[in-house]
Amino acid sequence: MIVIPAIDLRGGRCVRLVQGRFDDETVFDEDPVAVARRWQEAGAQLIHVVDLDGARKGVPQHFHVIEQICRAVSVPIELGGGLRDRGVIEQALGFGVNRVVVGSVAALDEDLAWRLIRRFDTQLVIGIDARDGKVAVRGWEQVTERSATDLANSLADLGARRIIYTDIARDGMLTGVNLDAMREMVAAVCIPVIASGGVSSREDLQALAGIGVEGAIVGKALYTGALSPDVIREFD
């Protein structure tokens, strides 16, 4: 299992939200490019970048910053937030993003999701975000009636190669991971699962490694010092 540092962008700055709420934001750094360099120096094998404004508006808002990040580091960049059509995804990949995360599209339009999976293959990651096991979309502001595992199974059947599963209730809370939900997701599909939401300790990381996730996205715990950057190499 690898530890994947997160960079969440809003208003051009590196921030963290609590449970995805845009009215509960903490700014951790004014320079996301410097943050990316820091995670590279700490040994990151992959950096997870989210355009929060893009997720909310449906169109990426930080391509200029993300392009600067891609130029500044040699670590692969994984990008999510507002990537909802082929042209935008191709644009992101064109300036150096290594793989993209689609969430709302996958949940709301499986025909389009299938076409994107066919076109981008391993460069496409499905982001499934859930509240109480139900899929949330459009920057986490709308919750559907569909279960996360049902969506994951359908998309895996369509050929999806990888899933990022986020438990929104734990995201940014530093209260630990929802291990039961993550275990259920890992058991539900035969493709790699990356866990996101709530990681606050080495014990959380060890527990996730024990259930077989491919990686764990860590944000607030690294920014606040609850976890030392040393964990990035420790779980290499």
> Which residues form the catalytic set?
8, 129
What is the spatial distance between Cα 14 and Cα 37, in angstroms, rounded to a whole number? 13
Q: How far apart are the first and last CA of the chain?
A: 7
Query: What residues does 166 pair with on adjacent strands?
Result: 129, 196
Q: Residue 133: phi, psi to the nearest 5? A: 85, -5
- Angle, CA of 62, 77 and 127, to the nearest 5°: 80
Fill in the amino acid letter for 177.
Answer: V
Whether 80 and 58 have beta carbons less than 8 Å apart is answered as no
